[in-house]
């Protein structure tokens, strides 16, 4: 194939993909910070079709007993995984991902809130060729996701 102006000739730059051989429990896989603003909520609502007013209307949110407008749970869940996905270099290595929503993510009318995420190895199953990544997701020191776990393939052909 001949390179054209539309075909990149060099790979995209980014973090070096993780070496998934010899992972050890407690090893940090990724540490990321993500800004979530009301603009993020608008874009996510448009993409997902979730136009629940608690995600854009302060009055509706407070009447629902919330501290104000909150981020969509699935937006938070997906955003939390992005740092690990980037470090893996291949999103198909994620075999399973689940979380429990523990606290809402209040999003101010102006500015943004920061979602801090750390992914560490929680378990390694050498026989299955997989590892479990445990993610900690916090906003201002408050855990917003609990039991956030991703099973990743560590060897080619690891079962799904």
pLDDT for residue 6 is more than 50: no
Q: Are 117 and 32 in contact (CB under 8 A)?
A: yes
pLDDT for residue 5 is more than 90: no
> Whole-model pTM?
0.86
Q: How confident is the model at residue 18 (pLDDT cuts 50, 70, 90)?
A: confident
pLDDT score for 17: 79
DSSP letters, 39-81, are HHHHHHHHHH----GGGT-HHHHHHTT-SS-B--HHHHHHHHH
Q: Helix, strand or coil for residue 24? A: coil
Domain 28-37+72-153 has CATH 3.10.129.10: yes
pLDDT for residue 140 is more than 70: yes
- pLDDT tens sequence across 47-102: 999 999 999 999 999 999 999 999 999 999 999 999 999 999 999 999 999 999 99
Q: Taking residues 140-153, report their average pLDDT.
A: 98
């Amino acid at each position: 194939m001949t390179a054209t102006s539309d075909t990149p000739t060099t790979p995209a730059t980014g973090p070096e993909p993780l070496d998934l051989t010899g992972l050890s429990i407690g090893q940090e896989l990724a540490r990321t910070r993500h800004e979530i603003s009301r603009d993020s909520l608008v874009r996510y609502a448009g993409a997902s079709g979730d136009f629940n007013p608690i995600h854009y209307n302060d009055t509706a949110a407070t009447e629902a007993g919330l501290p104000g407008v909150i981020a969509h749970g699935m937006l938070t869940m997906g955003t939390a995984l992005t740092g690990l996905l980037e470090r893996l270099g291949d999103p198909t290595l994620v075999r399973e991902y689940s979380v429990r929503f523990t606290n809402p993510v209040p999003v101010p009318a102006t500015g943004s809130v920061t979602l801090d995420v750390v992914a560490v190895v929680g378990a390694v199953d050498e026989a299955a060729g997989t590892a479990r990544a445990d993610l900690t997701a916090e906003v201002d020191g408050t855990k917003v996701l609990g039991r956030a776990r991703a099973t990743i393939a560590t060897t080619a052909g690891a079962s799904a």
